[in-house]
Structure 1
Amino acid sequence: MNIEDLRWFAVLAETEHLTEAAAALGTSQPNLSRSLRRVESAFGVQLFEREHRGVRLNPYGRLVLEAAQAGTAAVDSARRRIDALIDPESGMVRLGFLHSVATSLVPDLLKAFREVAPSVRFALRQEPSHDIVQDLVSGEAEIGIIAPRPDPEAFGWHLMEQQRLCLQVPPGHPFASRRRVELAAAADEPFIGLRPGFGFRRISEELCRAAGFTPQLAFEATDLATIDGLVGAGLGVAVLPAGAVRGSDSGAVSVPLAGVQARREVGMAWRLRTQLTPAAERFRTFVRSRPATST
């Protein structure tokens, strides 16, 4: 028995006549009879009383009719909702993105995309990079805006932005007036950083390790705006991407880090060997048409 058998059963229950029901369904009477037998076999009881001029539901049949109507209505509703979600003009894009691009890259990108696709909707997930990767694997997200680049064997990648990394220092700090600073010069400073598990936490730790020290963390936050605010309040210094905190009035000063490796690459990732929905494919094409930027 399948959902179409239940749909045919409901039509037969309405017409109470095999020939009329078959005509309404555009099928033959033998096909309808076989469908009815599948339904009755599935429930283990006879659902109609056969009469001289047709058929009539018995008490078991009335119970099954109620369930059949509810079930087919639910399936039809799901089909309509899926059709709406995959419509490239008004569908849904499941997008995961980093906390660190939530006030800069992502708002600008979505604003630009809505100018060309105003009816496309987004299911947004703001989370650490390892969670975005898991969401791409599970299908909870179709596209991720992430750093660093995930496994190239499993994920496609498009570079979107190269971010210069800076040492964020309190106002009046001795480094605040410098044009550039070596990260090693901040080895004795208290640091404000992200909690473990965030992709940028790993990047900043690797930079400090390359500079020859392990940062002494005064506080671990979950977003860059909090880090910027705490640095501005004088609680420590931090490594942050340039322009990652937009519209801040903390007073913290961004001093570019010296060294050609002091960059973070942010890009769009998607799972390979998985077909995107039309709306997500349209968004991916749009993003790939835009040149990578540098900050």
Structure 2
Amino acid sequence: MNLQQLEYFLVLAENEHMTKTAQQLNISQPSLSYTIAELEKELGVPLFKKFGRNIRLTKYGHYYYDYAQQAIKLLQQAKEVISDDVHPSTGHIDFGFIYTMGAINAPIITKEFLGIKPQTHFSFKQNNSKNLLQDLRDERLDIAIVSHVEGFEDIAFEPLLEEKMVVTVPKHHPLSQKEVISLEELSHHPLVYYNASSGLRPYLQDVFEALNLPISSKIEVEDDQTVLGFVSNGFGLAIMPEIPSIKAFPVTALKISNHIQPRIIYLATRKNAYHSPLLKEFKQFCLSYFKN
């Protein structure tokens, strides 16, 4: 069965007259009769019976009428929901971002965009890059700010911004009196390191491998706040993004003397997928905002 059959059936059930219904639908009466006959053939029961010059619903027709009405109503509701979701001014955007973006960058660009499109509806999700990208692939997110992760060839990564890296040490650690530290010196100390779920880990591995330095870590965690918690309690030092929440912990942030590759943060969207006009506008806004 198809939507046209449902629509024809409902109009005929309400009119109870073949000729009148055919005229209303602007089709021929044989075409209407054929459509209804095919529907009855598929269902295996008669939906109408003759009643003088008119027709009436059979018992099965009454059953089908109730469900057909509900089906059409639900389909109309679905159409309205989709229409609202992709509306260029009042649509919905599912926006994901990594933990380091939650304090400043994600709130700022959301606020600035709402200044242009105040009726936009946002849903937010914070997670590590790998999980955000999986949500993006599964269409639970429309757009995400992430690290680059291998294995997501169906995702488009566009450079958004660079994060400055620092070394954090406990407040009363001997190194806390320094302002600058080399990664060679850092490698002689135990590290609080990022685990395999973190998008920062591949970047750090590349940094240490480029300098041919070992990594000595006993503590591996996922997010920056936990890294700071373990560092402040003396479990080791950490190389991490320079984020505002560092100031909330009893740690000292040291500059890195080595010239290391910048950590690039990307704006990720699905390749070869439908992007609503509002999503396209938000994506371009994000890229332009950080470029400027």
Q: Deviations over 1:72-121 (max 9, x none)?
A: 11111111111111111111223332223222321222121111112222
State whether residues 137 and 155 of structure 2, in contact with CA within 8 Å, keep that contact through their aligned partners in structure 1. no
State whether residues 184 and 208 of structure 1, in contact with CA within 8 Å, keep that contact through their aligned partners in structure 2. no
Q: Residue 274 of structure 2: SS of its match in structure 1? A: coil
| Alignment partner, residue 5 of structure 2 | 5
Identity %: 25
Which runs of 5 or more structure 2 residues have no equivalent in the other structure? none
- CA displacement at 1:157 relative to structure 2: 3.6
| Alignment partner, residue 65 of structure 1 | 65
- CA displacement at 1:140 relative to structure 2: 3.1
| Alignment partner, residue 278 of structure 1 | 277
- CA displacement at 1:216 relative to structure 2: 2.8
State whether residues 160 and 266 of structure 1, in contact with CA within 8 Å, keep that contact through their aligned partners in structure 2. yes
Moved more, 276-285 or 98-107: 98-107
Are residue 246 (structure 1) and residue 251 (structure 2) matched?
no
In structure 2, how many angstroms separate the alpha carbons of the residues matched to 1:171 and 1:47? 81
Q: 1:121 to 1:247 in 2, by over 3 A?
A: farther
State whether residues 148 and 199 of structure 2, in contact with CA within 8 Å, keep that contact through their aligned partners in structure 1. yes
How big is the alpha-carbon RMSD for the aligned residues of Structure 1 and Structure 2?
2.3
| Alignment partner, residue 99 of structure 1 | 99
| Alignment partner, residue 233 of structure 2 | 233
In structure 2, how many angstroms separate the alpha carbons of the residues matched to 1:73 and 1:275? 25
In structure 1, how many angstroms separate the alpha carbons of the residues matched to 2:114 and 2:246? 23
State whether residues 97 and 127 of structure 2, in contact with CA within 8 Å, keep that contact through their aligned partners in structure 1. yes
Q: Deviations over 1:120-169 (max 9, x none)?
A: 22233323222333333333333221113767975434322111111011
In structure 2, how many angstroms separate the alpha carbons of the residues matched to 1:59 and 1:179? 86
Matches within 5 A, 1:177-192: 177-192=177-192
Matches within 5 A, 1:38-53: 38-53=38-53
| Alignment partner, residue 289 of structure 2 | 290
In structure 2, how many angstroms separate the alpha carbons of the residues matched to 1:184 and 1:50? 93
TM-score w.r.t. length of structure 2: 0.90
In structure 2, how many angstroms separate the alpha carbons of the residues matched to 1:85 and 1:171? 49
| Alignment partner, residue 203 of structure 2 | 203
Q: Residue 90 of structure 1: SS of its match in structure 2? A: coil
- CA displacement at 1:56 relative to structure 2: 0.7
Q: Residue 46 of structure 2: SS of its match in structure 1? A: coil
In structure 2, how many angstroms separate the alpha carbons of the residues matched to 1:188 and 1:267? 32
In structure 2, how many angstroms separate the alpha carbons of the residues matched to 1:289 and 1:247? 28
| Alignment partner, residue 143 of structure 1 | 143
In structure 2, how many angstroms separate the alpha carbons of the residues matched to 1:263 and 1:228? 21
Q: Residue 255 of structure 1: SS of its match in structure 2? A: strand
| Alignment partner, residue 175 of structure 1 | 175
Count of residues paired in the alignment: 292
